[in-house]
């Protein structure tokens, strides 16, 4: 029998690590001296079955919850309530964070507007009192600074938005052996 590449497949024993091969050889040597009916019983005991159950989520696997219910009646319901309360708390915290960021941005825009208006008023005063070049420089640098802050702030916001969406990918699910 050949595999897809046309090569002869290796026997399973050749694919195992050296320590495992030695252990298999030792077991075969011992079993060779045991009568056939007893050998089959021993082999039945040596076979080990390992099951891996994978579950992801805020609650344990339903079979585990059922086991909890046998130990402490009502525990699954209490766990579900706890998870619901935690989810509600997390949503409230996220909403508060969004409100806080919105207020901060609104205040920053208001202060920037007031600062620009004050500089334009000062530039107007300086221009009227015989310093037109200074007034023009004050207005030009102010408008340039505001435009630069707007452009670079938006670019930073778009970049950080992409970073945040990439970092919020779900983590690998935990494995539980039974």
Per-residue pLDDT, 24: 74
Q: What is the band of 111 on the pLDDT scale with cuts at 50, 70, 90?
A: very high
Concatenated DSSP letters of 33-45: TS-HHHHHHHHHH
Q: Is residue 54 part of a domain?
A: no
Model pTM? 0.49
171 dihedral zone (left: phi>0; alpha: psi -120 to 50; beta): beta
Q: What is the band of 175 on the pLDDT scale with cuts at 50, 70, 90?
A: very low
Q: Is residue 170 part of a domain?
A: no
Q: Is residue 50 part of a domain?
A: no
Q: Is residue 153 part of a domain?
A: yes
d(C-alpha 70, C-alpha 63), whole Å: 11
Q: Is residue 138 part of a domain?
A: yes
Task: Domain of residue 103: give its range.
Answer: 75-165
d(C-alpha 76, C-alpha 61), whole Å: 11
Look at residues 139, 141, 144 and name the one whose alpha carbon lies nearest to residue 117. 139
The interaxial angle of helices 18-32 and 36-46, nearest 10 deg, is 150
**Number of domains composing the chain:** 1
Q: Is residue 29 part of a domain?
A: no
Q: Which helix (H) or strand (E) holds 129?
A: none
Count Cβ atoms below 10 Å from residue 157 Cβ, excluding itself.
Answer: 11
Is 37's pLDDT higher than 70? yes
């Amino acid at each position: 029998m050949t595999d897809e590449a046309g090569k002869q497949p290796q026997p399973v024993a050749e694919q195992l690590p050296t320590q495992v091969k030695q252990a298999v050889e030792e077991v075969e040597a011992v079993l060779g001296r045991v009568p056939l009916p007893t050998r089959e019983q021993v082999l039945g005991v040596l076979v080990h079955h390992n099951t891996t159950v994978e579950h992801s989520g805020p609650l344990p696997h339903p079979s585990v919850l059922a086991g909890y219910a046998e130990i402490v009646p009502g525990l699954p319901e209490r766990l579900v309530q706890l998870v619901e309360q935690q989810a509600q708390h997390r949503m409230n915290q996220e909403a508060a964070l969004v409100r806080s960021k919105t207020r901060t941005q609104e205040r920053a825009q208001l202060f920037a507007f007031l600062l620009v208006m004050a500089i334009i008023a000062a530039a107007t005063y300086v221009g009227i009192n015989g310093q037109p070049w200074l007034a023009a420089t004050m207005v030009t640098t102010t408008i340039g600074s505001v435009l630069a802050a707007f452009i670079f702030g938006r670019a930073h916001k778009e970049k950080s938005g992409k970073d945040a969406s990439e970092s919020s990918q779900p983590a690998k699910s935990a494995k539980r052996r039974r």
